[in-house]
Amino acid sequence: MAERALRGTRLGATSYENDRNTDLAPRQEVDYTCTKGHRFTVTLAAEAEVPMTWDCRSCGATALRVDGELPQAKKGKPPRTHWDMLMERRTVEDLEEVLAERLEILRAGRRRSA
């Protein structure tokens, strides 16, 4: 019975809701300009934090807010290398001792082969 009632409708394709007697959330429009001169507007919620940069819709470059300045670059830590992490766990003397042990094992294996 339910199938007959829905026959002929395009479920999911058409919304049966209307905009009468509804209030939209407050919005703000923010203008951005990219380095290639493209200018566009982004609509955001009124209470949203407005970012200083946005990806350009035309070329994908980083666009800056029209009334803003470039954000300050954050000071980051230098990348840790494998050697840095190794030196956190062991001293040079420990490493020399491990190297001597491994060389002795390799030399013992070569003596048996020969």
Q: Are 53 and 71 in contact (CB under 8 A)?
A: yes
What is the SS3 assignment for 42-71? EEEECCCCCCCEEECCCCCCEEEECCCCCC
Binding-site residues from annotation: 34, 38, 56, 59
Binding-site residues from annotation for Zn(2+): 34, 38, 56, 59
CA distances from 32 to 9, 12, 65 (A): 42, 35, 4
d(CA 114, CA 111): 5
